[in-house]
Amino acid sequence: MGLDMYLETMDKTTGETTIIHSWRKANQIRAWFVNQFDKDPNDQLKIKLTPETIDNLICDMTQVLAHQQLASNLLPTSVGFFFGSTDYDEYYFETLADTVDYLMHDLEWHTETEDLYYTEWW
């Protein structure tokens, strides 16, 4: 078991969902969503996203990658029974770099026909 996190699209007409990206135990990204949307950290999350939300996440991740000392302020780790390491280590920064790369180059989301959600399971 562990913290499994997803970006998924939902077709606005059919309601069909498709997972388009996933993370495992990337608790710093989860904490970002909890903080940005003022969610209870003890709840499993499903949050509808906007292009502005994605831009803000990219901005914060890019700042942390450029200035690692900002990590605990902009993208702090979070504790949970299945959430993995809270260290600001190589895995932490690799996860951010991979996520920025995905969001900037590979994200396929057709805002006219699809909604985008952050979801999770643990």
The pLDDT tens digits of the residues spanning 25-34 come to 999 999 999 9
Amino acid 74: pLDDT: 98
What pLDDT, on a 0 to 100 scale, did the predictor assign at position 8?
Answer: 98
Which parts of the chain register pLDDT below 50?
none
Q: What's residue 1's pLDDT?
A: 67
Q: Helices in the chain by DSSP H: which ranges?
A: 27-36, 51-66, 71-74, 90-101
CA 54 to chain centre: 9
pTM for the full model?
A: 0.94
Sign of CA dihedral 11, 6, 108, 62: positive
Q: According to the model, what pLDDT value does residue 82 have? A: 84
Q: Enter the tokens of residue 96.
A: 């951010």
Taking only the tens place, the pLDDT of each residue in 1-33 is 689 999 999 999 999 999 999 999 999 999 999
